[in-house]
């Protein structure tokens, strides 16, 4: 397992890469370009610059999160081939700097969705939270505006301005897209890009929908084991794989995360791990919590055991953390609590290693 840390680039971060490097046992950074509009080719010189920056801090850059997919591809619109060609060129460019895993998602309109970005827990820490009852009272426009407002000027990835400006139009277009149509559009995309990814030595890793159910009536398909299987079966290639995000899939208690890890690990389709705990209060209502098993509803020890059992050797990162110790910054992506999360995950992993060497 290659312990990794998501880092948004010096111009977007409140802490330097040197601090990230001080986290024990860190292999590399999960990075991306955030100033290239969705659908355009990522220029080689910019990704080389990112690689040089990360490597000069003594860390590796092998994983990208995310190369986002243009809505026209998800909608199956007539211009999709042009965007698919751009996507393919981005993959070729990323391969040139040694990228091995590319995370992406296929969520219509909205990426991750929360109803609160800074819910204060009894201990004073602040977390992201989702409450289906609150969402029911909001329109998509109101929710998008609330997210932007709560973000206090911090750029939220997956919530690009261009997309939010044309919400009504997008919702109208998605009226004609049900889950089967979305699967078909994903299949079309994968049939085009997976052969390129194979040639380039890149593993594509689709991220689950977060939360794993429909929001505002939009179709969502990356939600459960059966659908994940349908996705990996769309193109039978090791390059067509998954990002297993415990906190996204785990919001639905019917998703048995350790079992899902074992199931897809055995098929060689698990390429990237996101480990996060959440506290489910009732169906459709949850807060993000510290990584510690007791603090949430997911058994993080069992989850790490499952990664260990499948001999997982890909990148794995702590996912969102709480805001603690007075830190301010990007919701879910502070330095301190993700650093604590890493140490918890290391502790579990090292113990698993040690037990085996004793047997
Ligand atoms: C949010 C992230 C997502 C994720 C994308 C992957 O914090 O988990 O934005 O990076 O969905 O494509």
In a domain, 123, yes or no: no
User: Residue 52: enclosing H or E segment and its boundaries?
Assistant: helix 44-56
Question: Which atom number of ligand 1 is nearest to the Cα of residue 206?
Answer: 12
CA distance 157 to 215: 18
pLDDT value for 3: 98
195-214 average pLDDT score: 98
- pLDDT tens sequence across 164-189: 778 888 999 999 999 999 999 999 99
Sequence length of the chain is: 359
Q: What share of the chain in percent tops pLDDT 90?
A: 88
Question: Which atom number of ligand 1 is nearest to the Cα of residue 66?
Answer: 12
pLDDT value for 47: 97
Count CA atoms within 13 Å of residue 168 on its CB side.
1
pLDDT value for 147: 85
Is 111 a catalytic site residue? no
Task: Output b/e per residue, 257-288; b: 16+ Cβ within 10 A.
Answer: bbebbbbbbeeebbbbbbbbbbbbeeebbbbb
Q: What share of the chain in percent tops pLDDT 70?
A: 99
In a domain, 183, yes or no: yes
304-317 average pLDDT score: 98
- pLDDT tens sequence across 70-108: 999 999 999 999 999 999 999 999 999 999 999 999 999
Q: Where are the beta strands (DSSP E) in 289-356?
A: 315-318
Domain range for 48 is 2-108+178-275+301-317+331-358
pLDDT value for 228: 98
In a domain, 249, yes or no: yes
Q: Is the CB of 111 under 6 A from ligand 1?
A: yes
45-71 average pLDDT score: 96
CA of residue 245 to ligand 1 center, whole Å = 9
For a substitution probing ligand 1, which of 4, 90, 150, 157 has the most ligand atoms within 8 Å of its CB? 157
pLDDT value for 91: 98
Q: Is the CB of 247 under 6 A from ligand 1?
A: no
pLDDT value for 154: 85
The CATH number of residue 37's host domain is 3.20.20.150
Is 274 a catalytic site residue? yes
Q: Where are the beta strands (DSSP E) in 141-225?
A: 203-206
Is 245 a catalytic site residue? yes
Q: Is the CB of 126 under 6 A from ligand 1?
A: no
Question: Which atom number of ligand 1 is nearest to the Cα of residue 65?
Answer: 10
Residues 6+ apart with CB under 8 A from 178: 219
CA of residue 158 to ligand 1 center, whole Å = 7
**Structurally, how many domains does the chain consist of?**
1
188-192 average pLDDT score: 98
pLDDT value for 359: 65
**DSSP state for residue 145 in the 8-state scheme:** H
Tokens 């650093």 identify what position?
A: 339
CA distance 247 to 277: 6
Q: Is the CB of 333 under 6 A from ligand 1?
A: no
In a domain, 338, yes or no: yes
- pLDDT tens sequence across 234-286: 999 999 999 999 999 999 999 999 999 999 999 999 999 999 999 999 999 99
CA distance 242 to 230: 12
Q: Is the CB of 187 under 6 A from ligand 1?
A: no
308-328 average pLDDT score: 96
CA torsion angle 301 21 279 120 (round to 10): 150
Q: Give CA separation, 307 vs 73, 216, 246, 298, in Å.
A: 32, 34, 12, 15
In a domain, 54, yes or no: yes
pLDDT value for 127: 97
In a domain, 164, yes or no: no
Is 320 a catalytic site residue? yes
Exactly one of 70, 207, 271, 291 is catalytic; name it. 207
């Amino acid at each position: 397992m290659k312990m990794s840390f998501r880092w948004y680039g010096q111009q977007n971060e409140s802490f330097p890469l040197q601090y990230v490097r001080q986290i024990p046992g860190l292999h590399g950074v999960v990075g991306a370009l955030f100033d290239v509009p969705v659908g355009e080719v990522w220029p080689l010189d910019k990704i080389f610059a990112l690689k040089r920056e990360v490597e000069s801090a003594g860390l590796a850059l092998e994983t990208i999160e995310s190369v986002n997919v243009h809505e026209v591809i998800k909608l199956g619109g007539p211009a999709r081939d042009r965007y698919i060609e751009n996507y393919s060129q981005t993959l070729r460019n990323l391969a040139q700097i040694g990228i091995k895993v590319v995370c992406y998602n296929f969520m219509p309109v909205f990426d991750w969705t929360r109803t609160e970005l800074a819910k204060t827990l009894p201990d004073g820490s602040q977390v992201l939270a989702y409450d289906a009852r609150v969402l029911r009272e909001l329109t998509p426009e109101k929710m998008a505006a609330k997210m932007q407002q709560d973000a206090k000027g911090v750029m939220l990835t997956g919530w690009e301005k261009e997309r939010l400006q044309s919400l009504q139009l997008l919702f109208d277009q998605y009226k004609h897209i049900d889950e089967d149509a979305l699967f078909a559009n994903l299949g079309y995309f994968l049939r085009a890009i997976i052969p390129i990814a194979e040639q380039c030595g890149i593993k594509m890793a689709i991220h689950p929908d977060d939360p794993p159910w429909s929001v505002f009536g939009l179709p969502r398909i990356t939600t459960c084991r059966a659908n994940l299987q349908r996705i990996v079966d769309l193109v039978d290639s090791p390059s067509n794989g998954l990002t297993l995000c415990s906190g996204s899939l785990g919001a639905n208690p019917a998703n048995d995360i350790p079992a899902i890890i074992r199931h897809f690990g055995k098929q060689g389709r698990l390429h990237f791990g996101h480990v996060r705990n959440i506290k489910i209060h009732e169906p459709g209502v949850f807060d993000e919590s510290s990584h510690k098993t007791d603090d949430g509803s997911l058994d993080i020890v069992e989850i790490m055991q499952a990664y260990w059992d499948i001999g997982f050797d890909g990148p794995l990162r702590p996912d969102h953390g709480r805001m603690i110790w007075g830190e301010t910054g990007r919701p879910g992506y502070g330095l301190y609590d993700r650093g604590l999360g890493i140490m918890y995950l290391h502790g579990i992993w090292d113990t698993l290693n040690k037990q085996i060497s004793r047997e």
